Amino acid sequence: MKRIETRDTGRLAVGIAYLALGLVAVSVLGPLLWAVGTSLKTYGEVFSRGLAFFPEVPQWDNYVEIFRIAPFDRYVMNSVIVSLFACAFTLLTSAMSAYAFARLRFPGRDALFVLYLATMMVPQQVILIPNFLLIRELGLLDTLAGLVLTRVFVPLGTFLLRQFFMGIPIELEEAAIIDGMSYTRRFVSVILPLAKPALVSLFIVSLLAAWNDFLYPLVFIRTDTKRTITLGLSILQGDLDIRWNLVMAATIVAVSPLVVAYLALQRLFIEGIALTGSKG
């Protein structure tokens, strides 16, 4: 009798857990679903049936219209270029510096690491103008390269990878040393392959940050054809007569590459987060 009660209580708990998870899923997916629905509405429907999830007749033309009223294909391409280069450089600089902080022994290493980490506490807005001056002096204002350059050195990346590298058994490197491998060879052939999940995590985090960056492109980019997708979305809302159906269509286009990247790398991303977390 007691076992039956326990089983019923267990089922109830599972049911409540599913209900709670369902509510969370609805609260997360609901706005996204509404955005998709709104992207397919007419302008009039946005106001007359604003709270409805789906349009009476889907307006697929909205997705064509956004490319007609602004060069959104160019904006997407610019975001792809900036994000991929920024991510690649972030991985490169973070991995190299993390390896140095994790494995190399040199005077003041820990103090330097703390100092480097301390720069994470400085808000981006504070260093916006110094960065602006620097990029201008380099002649990179209004270039995608200028945007990439501002995202090359990421202390968070160094921190994440250092924690991961410190968790890799030192014996593996010692074996490589016996085999006569240099620092560079050990880094490339031993450490990096083992750090794939952590690198993927950092890649996705960096990709999100670079893709969604708005402040720096806003101030650094002037030419229409060099705008990133976030600036493009902002321009769509640039005056009081905002066509929300087109804004939503553009937003769906803007987030699609990120969703694809996440889905493609989901397994490694979760693995990396778990590993960097547990080893930290």
Give residue 52's identity as a one-letter amino acid code. Answer: A
- Smallest distance from the beta carbon of 129 to another protein, in angstroms? 5
Give residue 244's identity as a one-letter amino acid code. Answer: W
Using alpha carbons, select from 39, 8, 31, 16 the residue that is nearest to residue 247: 39
User: Which of 231, 252, 254, 265 is in the footprint of another protein by CB under 8 A?
Assistant: 231
| 129 makes contact with another protein (CB under 8 A) | yes
| 180 makes contact with another protein (CB under 8 A) | no
- Smallest distance from the beta carbon of 269 to another protein, in angstroms? 22
The stretch near another protein (CB under 8 A) out of 7-15, 33-41, 85-93, 107-115 is: 85-93
Rounded CA separation 28/51 (Å): 17
The stretch near another protein (CB under 8 A) out of 30-38, 144-152, 259-267, 270-278 is: 144-152
| 69 makes contact with another protein (CB under 8 A) | yes
| 41 makes contact with another protein (CB under 8 A) | no
User: Which of 7, 11, 109, 136 is in the footprint of another protein by CB under 8 A?
Assistant: 136
Listed in sequence order, the residues at least 6 apart from 208 whose beta carbon sits closer than 8 Å to its beta carbon are: 258
| 203 makes contact with another protein (CB under 8 A) | no
The stretch near another protein (CB under 8 A) out of 11-19, 28-36, 38-46, 260-268 is: 38-46
Rounded CA separation 82/253 (Å): 17
Token pair recorded at residue 206: 């960096």
Rounded CA separation 227/238 (Å): 14
Query: How far does Cα 52 stand from its chain's mean position?
Result: 31
Q: Which backbone phi and psi does 57 adopt, to 5 degrees?
A: -125, 115
| 170 makes contact with another protein (CB under 8 A) | no
| 236 makes contact with another protein (CB under 8 A) | yes
User: Which of 81, 194, 208, 273 is in the footprint of another protein by CB under 8 A?
Assistant: 81
Rounded CA separation 256/243 (Å): 20
The stretch near another protein (CB under 8 A) out of 105-113, 161-169, 197-205, 222-230 is: 222-230
Packing angle, helices 196-212 and 72-103, rounded to 10 = 140
Rounded CA separation 212/87 (Å): 13
| 85 makes contact with another protein (CB under 8 A) | yes
| 239 makes contact with another protein (CB under 8 A) | yes
The DSSP secondary structure of 216-227, one letter per residue, reads HHHHH--SGGG-
Residues that bind another protein (CB under 8 A): 43-44, 46-48, 50, 69-70, 81, 85, 88, 92, 128-129, 132-133, 136, 139-146, 148, 184-185, 188-189, 214, 218-219, 222-224, 226, 231, 234-244
